[in-house]
Amino acid sequence: MTISVLSVASEAYPLVKTGGLGDVVGALPAALMPHDVNVVTLVPGYPRVIAAVQGAAALHDWPDLVGAPARLLSGTIGGHKLLVLDAPGYFAREGGPYGDPSGRDWDDNWRRFAAFGRAAADLASGAVKGFRFDVLHAHDWQSGLAPAYLRFAPAGGRCARSVMTIHNIAFQGRFDASIFGSLALPDRAFAVDGVEYYGGVGYLKAGLEAADAITTVSPTYAAEILRPEFGMGLEGLIRARRERVSGIVNGIDPAVWNPAADAALPERYDAGDLALRTINKRALEKAFALEPGDGPLFCVVSRLTWQKGMDVLADTLDALVAGGGRLALLGSGDAWLEHAFQEAAARHPGRIGVRIGYDEALSHLMQGGADAILIPSRFEPCGLTQLYGLAYGCVPVVARTGGLADTVIHANDAALDAGVATGIQFDAVTHESLAQAIALALRLFATPERWSSIQRAGMAADFSWATSGRRYADLYRELLSA
């Protein structure tokens, strides 16, 4: 039997992406199709999304969706069906998906994403004519109210099963209790087994409480979030529902991330002709005004935040350069970190190059031209940049946490001798351990056969969606047969 799934998310590549959520949501429809699962994606009608579905007829009207009118449009994304919540009062704004051009969160995010959750629940409960779904799959806090509406106030007759996926538990969508009255949920929903969270309203919490199943994006992270150090206040709830929690590691979309067919690379290559990467390395050096050379070139493609361990990296750059390394860094985030990296670049001209901003094409060139990618995250639910690194022969140097622990095989002597090492892992996210990991990378790089064996082992690893797609499909089937 074909299962129909409504995937509900605030980002979907290539229409809207601020991070890994967009990549995964964009890849899910193709990942699930071989398993007889038909995924329709619902996204908010940000200006770029509306432009992409221009001329589409409205399929449904909500005269008052949590306080403003909205309509439903349809289009396609990557050849798959897309639904768009067109609500100009909420989404027709300059700026990012969550904040104004200066990066400040919109004051009415609670209302914007309540409306989004309400619309998703209407679609999944049969309240919108012409639509039926077996499963509502909500991603992150922006979609967290959808399972709660489905449970406490389904508008249609039928009730789809629901899955809540945690991509980043650090963002929880916490709002003041005073908003509850505007959510049009019954009073009983403001309870510890409902949407109430530490005296306020918690959107991610609401989704985790109401969903029939909870997933996160790697097995190690699924175990980590049972503990206070990683659960960020939600560990009690997750422990209480642990029977329903599973970790399904992300895959990568081969249509977007494949060094043999990547239009963003000056030179395409595969594991059989790694020497061709040098052409990309030269282009990368040029893009970052680095001294050209065959010595080791590290890269970073990241949000510049505490989660990603970027403060520790900033402290380790002098050691990286002293050891003979160079660094190309692309990212944006906390102003003080942006400043720290720019200062490091000024201190080490030609050795450290920094680009503050977001640049999809450049991120491909970095994976295709740098020798190694540094990912010193304090927590990492899955991580995608190490997977891209593996696929591109850009050796990942990662903290041993979450999905990074699950996807990289550390280059200890045994793994090196067996030819299975795919990268370097280190334990505590401290200056010392990161410096040691970088030193190990520099030593391994100095023996070209060792280095290329690590590159090839990574490129041979399978991080396609085949296995993970099946696991989501199995989960949906399990829910429907329960």
Ligand X SMILES: Nc1ncnc2c1ncn2[C@@H]1O[C@H](COP(=O)(O)OP(=O)(O)O[C@H]2O[C@H](CO)[C@@H](O)[C@H](O)[C@H]2O)[C@@H](O)[C@H]1O
Chain residues that interact with ligand X, rule: CB under 6 A: 19-21, 23-24, 167-168, 217, 250, 301-303, 330-332, 358-360, 363, 380-385, 403
In the complex, what is the shortest distance from the CB of residue 334 to ligand X, in angstroms, rounded to a whole number?
13
| Residue 17 in marked binding region | yes
Strands (E), 249-369: 297-304, 326-333, 352-356
- Cα–Cα distance, 70 to 59 (Å, whole number): 11
In the complex, what is the shortest distance from the CB of residue 62 to ligand X, in angstroms, rounded to a whole number?
29
In the complex, what is the shortest distance from the CB of residue 295 to ligand X, in angstroms, rounded to a whole number?
24
Give the nearer residue to ligand X in terms of CB position, either 23 or 86. Answer: 23
Pairing relationship of beta strands 80-86 and 68-77 according to DSSP bridges: antiparallel
Give the nearer residue to ligand X in terms of CB position, either 123 or 459. Answer: 459
Asked if residues 23 and 391 have their Cβ atoms less than 8 Å apart, the reply is: no
Q: How many residues does the chain have?
A: 482
- What is the DSSP track for 213-240? EEEES-HHHHHHTTSHHHHTT-HHHHHH
Asked if residues 419 and 450 have their Cβ atoms less than 8 Å apart, the reply is: no
Give the nearer residue to ligand X in terms of CB position, either 20 or 469. Answer: 20
- Cα–Cα distance, 244 to 263 (Å, whole number): 41
Give the nearer residue to ligand X in terms of CB position, either 194 or 353. Answer: 353
Give the nearer residue to ligand X in terms of CB position, either 48 or 443. Answer: 48
Q: State the residue number with the nearest CB to ligand X.
A: 19
* Phi, psi (deg, nearest 5) at residue 358: -125, 125
First to last CA, the chain: 15
Between CA 167 and CA 227, with CA 195 as vertex, the angle to 5 degrees is 50
Q: Which of 113, 115, 164 is nearest to 142 (CA)?
A: 113
- Cα–Cα distance, 125 to 131 (Å, whole number): 9
In the complex, what is the shortest distance from the CB of residue 163 to ligand X, in angstroms, rounded to a whole number?
14
User: From the CB of residue 219, how many other CB atoms can be counted at a distance below 10 Å?
Assistant: 16
Burial (CB count <10 Å: 0-12, 13-18, 19+), residue 163: buried
Give the nearer residue to ligand X in terms of CB position, either 328 or 416. Answer: 328
In the complex, what is the shortest distance from the CB of residue 31 to ligand X, in angstroms, rounded to a whole number?
13
User: From the CB of residue 439, how many other CB atoms can be counted at a distance below 10 Å?
Assistant: 15
Give the nearer residue to ligand X in terms of CB position, either 281 or 308. Answer: 308
In the complex, what is the shortest distance from the CB of residue 336 to ligand X, in angstroms, rounded to a whole number?
17
Asked if residues 423 and 304 have their Cβ atoms less than 8 Å apart, the reply is: no
List binding-site positions for ADP-alpha-D-glucose. 17
List binding-site positions. 17
